[in-house]
Amino acid sequence: MLVGYGPRGGSGIRSRRRPPAPRPAPSAPAPSRPEPGSRPLATPPVRKLAKDRGIDLREVPPTGAGGVVTRADVEAFTAVPEPAPEPAARPAGESRGDTRVTVRGVRKATAEAMVASAFTAPHVTLWLTVDVTRSVKLLRRLKADPELAGLSVSPLLLAARAVVLALRRHPYLNARWDGAAGEIVQLGAVHLGIAVATPRGLLVPSLKDADRLTSLADLARGLTALAATAREGRATPRDLSGGTFTITNVGVFGVDGGTPILNPGEAGILGLGQVRERPWVHRGTVRPRWVTELTLSIDHRVVDGEQGGRFLADVGAVLEHPERLLTWG
Evaluate whether 41 touches 66 at the Cβ level (below 8 Å): yes
Evaluate whether 266 touches 247 at the Cβ level (below 8 Å): no
The active-site residue, picked from 123, 170, 300, 321, is 300
Cβ atoms < 10 Å from Cβ of 138: 18
Burial 258-290 (b: 16+ CB within 10 A, else e): eebbbbbbbbbbbbbbbbeeeeeeeeeeeeebb
Euclidean distance between CA atoms 120 and 163, whole angstroms: 25
The secondary structure of 4-22 as a DSSP string is --S--GGGS----PPPPPP
Evaluate whether 92 touches 269 at the Cβ level (below 8 Å): no
- Say whether 191 is catalytic: no
| Sheet strands (E) in the chain | 41-42, 68-69, 123-131, 175-178, 183-186, 192-194, 196-198, 201-203, 206-207, 245-248, 268-272, 276-282, 285-299
Active site residues: 300
